Amino acid sequence: MSQVFLGMPAAGEGNLFADESFPKAAHHELQNTQLRANLRHATHSIRDKRLRVVGELPDWESLRNAGEAIKNQAMARLDERLEEFEKNFTARGGIIHWARDAAEANQIVTDLIKQTGSTEVVKVKSMATQEIGLNEHLETQGIAAFETDLAELIVQLDHDKPSHILVPAIHKNRTEVRDIFLREMPDVDPNLTNEPAKLAEASRKHLRKKFLSTKVAISGANFALADTGTLGVVESEGNGRMCLTLPETLITVMGIEKVLPSWQDIEVFMQLLPRSSTGERMNPYTSLWTGVTENDGPQNVHLVLMDNGRTRALSDRFGRSALNCIRCSACMNVCPVYERTGGHAYGSTYPGPIGAILSPLLTGIEAEENNSLPYASSLCGACFDACPVKINIPEILVHLRGEDVDSQRGKKLLPTQMDLLMKGGSWALGKGRNLDLMEKGLPLGKLAAGRDKKIKRLPGIAAGWTASRDIPAPPSKSFRDWWKSEKEGK
Amino acid sequence: MRIALFATCIVDAMYPETAKSTVKILERLGHEVIFPAGQACCGQMHMNSGYMPEALPVVENHVQAFERADYDVAVAPSGSCVSSLKHQHGMLAERLGKPDLKSRAAEVAGRTYELSQLLTDVLGITNAAEQLGSYFPHSVTYHPSCHGMRLLKLGDRQLDLLKSVGGITVQELPEADQCCGFGGTFSIKNSDVSSAMLQDKARNIASTGASLCVGGDVSCLMHIGGGLSRNGQKPGTMHLANILASTKEEMVAL
């Protein structure tokens, strides 16, 4: 540990864990050719859209710099911003609840719903409530939660879990969606086709009754503005607007890192977010609310401010900028690893490049299989280039790999092959003359090669390489050797 | 100009022709090339695998070897290794609490260039056929390696040099900006995903009909070439330096 703490901040809980190591999970997902075709189609079309609308803004790089600076400023004085927000939100009639972790947040929300006497709630798409497993918790308490975002609805009806933070059903194509609706929607038209407009209409009919009858809504928030005490939700379908305005009680669950210093800051984020997420210049619906407005909209307005590992992530000076994430999903849309494995391989609610750093930062690198996540990247850097707030994801991945290796030191009875390779490599590559000595053995490598001068099979950890790739036979002389004889006459 | 060559460990050990070609090109332009003898490796493999204390002697060795030597600028035929100097050495020094190493590493990195960067930005090469005598009468395609493209922001420097070689035909590579899946130990730790990425890259390369895939990093080229070879697909791989060094009189074979 590079810093001294009075106590390590608590680790995050809930749906933040890889169920099995990433390579194993990826191995299963890679076999699913339908999934790969769906993902390839979806990620490539979002990529192209994003590039088109980003290219329209001559000041895109300045906007990214501004987004990064505002987030850094907000994080540097997060404690003060949160108290300022609390003061302003409360002054306008809202009620704040503080939750240390997933369990506390779930308990608070459950109690608030029970106080209303309702046993049903409608939900706006929210990552925070996915993170804490709120729907599953409410079910155990006899409360039914209805997702109203189309893709969340698809996933919920299919008893599946989201595989993308913006397009939760990205792993499904429209024929699969039609089949889910036919199977799970009680009064659906049995002649439903797979046309997007028909599918949207079916879900609209299904949801309309819920909007009009349900008294409690649950949402997340894209941002909280400290100087006015305002919350905001950015969405495409209008289901969010219905949830935020029709019910009597509105309960929002939000991570503490979402607070921005001032109202003016949304100018920057409303340019960055829609372009980076859906590839649109402007999203169709942006809802902002500040406490309670008498006789207009929900009259009981709550906000659960949740830590769940965020203070822990904030204490990591090399990793803390991961908290600047605005959940746009641009990084997963451009990631070549995500494109091939899909989101479920990451286990956590947060998949893709941002998930590979955020999940272990929230839970600690040693939690379950989360130490395999930082290795789920070729470090190609496409995520860093796409990130609207310039989170240097590859650098944080490398940092967390270091944390992982350090956390294992002294715990293993025997060194792994990788440990030995790295120890040996440290010696061999730590001095020119050591490397020279190793290179003198290069001709030996020729023995491993076949008549075609290719090495086809290696043992141990290198076997994965030679499963699909040849290695050329090494040359008889290193460059260093050639230089000595040719240029220095030695 | 006196130019120090950082061969990089993989070129030194596995692809000596690429380093020899780099020397040839620079000498052809009338520059003096030196090879700081203590050099070995940039340490990227260790850092990218999370072995930070093990990377320290490797990074210290590089900095020491290149601060001792007397030269104007240094060059490496690799976008990835130069990126490591520029982006990782400082990070490692900071992490391990070595402020002195951080500033020394920054000084060395500050005058180290990737080959196409040196040729284009410092030495003013805009036409390889005219200024270097480069000649290579074959059909090739080009893969821009990720670290050169995204960390060094090389843009079209490598591709422009390649296109200006005499006799060459350059076929456009579909989805060129997609990673080949190498990623150092990623290709070992996550070999299934890496292979899936490689297969798409190999398919795209084969679809161009080119005889060769050219790039600026032998590590990626070894990965791509290894996949093409295993699949029995025709194109081979070659570093840009080898092609720039090829002339009518001394033609490099396919």
DSSP readout, A125-194?
--HHHHHTTHHHHHHHTT-EEEE-SHHHHHHHHTT---SSSSSTTTT--HHHHHHHHHHH-TT--TT--S
Q: Which of B6, B11, B23, B49 to mutate to test the interface with A (most CBs of A within 10 A)?
A: B49
* Amino acid in the structure at residue B75: V
pLDDT digits (tens, 9 = 90+) for B174-200: 999 999 999 999 999 999 999 999 999
For B229, which residue in chain A has the nearest alpha carbon?
A470
Same domain, B24 and B63: yes
Distance CA A476, CA A130 (A): 58
User: Do the Cβ atoms of A482 and B181 come within 8 Å?
Assistant: no
Interior angle at CA A400, CA A395 and CA A401, nearest 5: 95
* Amino acid in the structure at residue A42: A
Distance CA A367, CA B198 (A): 31
CA B65 to chain centre: 20
Strand duo A285-289 + A230-235: pairing: antiparallel
| E strand intervals along chain B | 2-5, 32-34, 73-76, 112-114, 139-142, 169-171, 212-215, 236-239
Distance CA A192, CA A368 (A): 43
Q: Is the minimum CB–CB distance between A422 and chain B shorter than 8 Å?
A: yes
Q: Smallest CA–CA separation between B20 and chain A, in Å? A: 7
B53 within some domain: yes
Q: Is the minimum CB–CB distance between A4 and chain B shorter than 8 Å?
A: no
Residues of A in contact with B215 (CB under 8 A): none
pLDDT digits (tens, 9 = 90+) for A10-38: 899 999 998 899 999 999 999 999 889 99
Q: Would you state the pLDDT for residue A6? A: 58
For A307, the 3-state DSSP assignment is coil
B151 within some domain: yes
Residues of B in contact with A30 (CB under 8 A): 192-193, 196
Beta carbon pairs, A and B, within 8 Å: 207
B250 within some domain: no
User: Do the Cβ atoms of A464 and B188 come within 8 Å?
Assistant: yes
In chain B, how many H helices and how many E strands? Answer: 15, 8
* CATH number of the domain encompassing residue B214: 3.40.50
Please say if the pLDDT value at position A80 is more than 80.
yes
Same domain, B109 and B144: no
Could you give the percent of chain A with pLDDT greater than 70? 99
Q: Smallest CA–CA separation between B101 and chain A, in Å? A: 15
B252 within some domain: no
Query: What residues of chain B, 33 to 62, have a C-beta less than 8 Å from chain A?
Result: 35, 37-41, 43, 45-52, 54-55, 57-58, 60-61
pLDDT digits (tens, 9 = 90+) for A146-178: 999 999 999 999 999 999 999 999 999 999 999
For B65, which residue in chain A has the nearest alpha carbon?
A432
Distance CA B32, CA A280 (A): 54
Which of A376, A381, A431 minimises the CB distance to B150?
A381
Q: Is the minimum CB–CB distance between A377 and chain B shorter than 8 Å?
A: yes
Confidence of residue A1 (pLDDT cuts 50, 70, 90): very low
- The larger pLDDT score, comparing residue B140 to residue A412, is at B140
Same domain, B103 and B149: no
B57 within some domain: yes
Q: Would you state the pLDDT for residue A2? A: 47
Q: Is the minimum CB–CB distance between A192 and chain B shorter than 8 Å?
A: no
Instruction: Choose among A150, A149, A270: nearest CA to A198.
Output: A150
The residue out of B62, B90, B122 marking a domain boundary is B122
The residue out of B105, B122, B139 marking a domain boundary is B122
Instruction: Choose among A70, A106, A127, A87: nearest CA to A290.
Output: A87
Domains and CATH numbers, chain A: 1-411 (3.40.50.10420), 432-487 (no CATH)
Q: Smallest CA–CA separation between B253 and chain A, in Å? A: 16
Please say if the pLDDT value at position A7 is more than 90.
no
Distance CA A349, CA A196 (A): 26
Considering only CA atoms, give the Rg of chain B. 18
User: Do the Cβ atoms of A380 and B51 come within 8 Å?
Assistant: no
Q: Would you state the pLDDT for residue A5? A: 53
What is the number of structural domains in chain B? 2
Same domain, B42 and B118: yes
Same domain, B218 and B141: yes
Distance CA B211, CA B222 (A): 16
pLDDT digits (tens, 9 = 90+) for A355-381: 999 999 999 999 889 999 999 999 999
Residues of B in contact with A410 (CB under 8 A): none
Same domain, B104 and B167: no
B217 within some domain: yes
Q: Smallest CA–CA separation between B226 and chain A, in Å? A: 4
Residues of A in contact with B63 (CB under 8 A): none
Q: Smallest CA–CA separation between B198 and chain A, in Å? A: 9
**B241 HSE (CA, 13 A, CB side):** 32
Q: Is the minimum CB–CB distance between A341 and chain B shorter than 8 Å?
A: yes
What's the domain range around B52? 2-122
Q: Write the Ramachandran bin of A468: left for phi over 0, alpha for psi from -120 to 50, otherwise beta.
A: alpha
Q: Is the minimum CB–CB distance between B136 and chain A shorter than 8 Å?
A: no
Which of A26, A398, A480 minimises the CB distance to B48?
A398
Average pLDDT, chain B: 97
Same domain, B159 and B67: no
Residues of B in contact with A415 (CB under 8 A): none
| E strand intervals along B6-60 | 32-34
Q: Is the minimum CB–CB distance between B65 and chain A shorter than 8 Å?
A: yes
Same domain, B186 and B96: no
B254 within some domain: no
Which helix (H) or strand (E) segment holds residue A268: the answer is: helix A266-277
Write b or e for each residue in A141-157: b if 16 or more Cβ atoms lie within 10 A of its Cβ, otherwise e: eebebbbbbbbbbbbbb
For B148, which residue in chain A has the nearest alpha carbon?
A380
Residue B190, phi then psi, degrees to nearest 5:
-125, 55
Q: Smallest CA–CA separation between B209 and chain A, in Å? A: 21
Q: Is the minimum CB–CB distance between B174 and chain A shorter than 8 Å?
A: no
Do A83 and A259 meet the contact criterion of CB atoms below 8 Å apart?
A: no
Interior angle at CA A475, CA A473 and CA A478, nearest 5: 140
Instruction: Choose among A473, A482, A472: nearest CA to A445.
Output: A473
Average pLDDT, chain A: 94
Residues of A in contact with B188 (CB under 8 A): 461-462, 464-465
Which of A22, A465, A479 minimises the CB distance to B7?
A479
Q: Would you state the pLDDT for residue B63? A: 98
Q: Which residue has the tokens 């009858």?
A: A213
Same domain, B29 and B139: no
Q: Would you state the pLDDT for residue A401? A: 98
Same domain, B43 and B133: no
Same domain, B86 and B27: yes
pLDDT digits (tens, 9 = 90+) for B198-214: 999 999 999 999 999 99
User: Do the Cβ atoms of A469 and B198 come within 8 Å?
Assistant: yes
CB count within 10 Å of CB A442 equals 18
pLDDT digits (tens, 9 = 90+) for B146-166: 999 999 999 999 999 999 999
Q: Which residue has the tokens 């190793």?
A: A438
B251 within some domain: no
Confidence of residue A225 (pLDDT cuts 50, 70, 90): very high
Same domain, B35 and B112: yes
Longest dimension (CA), chain B: 53
pLDDT digits (tens, 9 = 90+) for A333-360: 999 999 999 999 999 999 999 999 999 9
| E strand intervals along B26-135 | 32-34, 73-76, 112-114
Close Cβ partners of A107 (under 8 Å, ≥ 6 residues apart): none
Residues of A in contact with B14 (CB under 8 A): 472, 474-475
The residue out of B96, B122, B148 marking a domain boundary is B122
pLDDT digits (tens, 9 = 90+) for B6-47: 999 999 999 999 999 999 999 999 999 999 999 999 999 999
Which of B9, B13, B52 minimises the CB distance to A402?
B52
Residues of A in contact with B58 (CB under 8 A): 425-426, 429-430
Residues of A in contact with B35 (CB under 8 A): 480, 483, 487
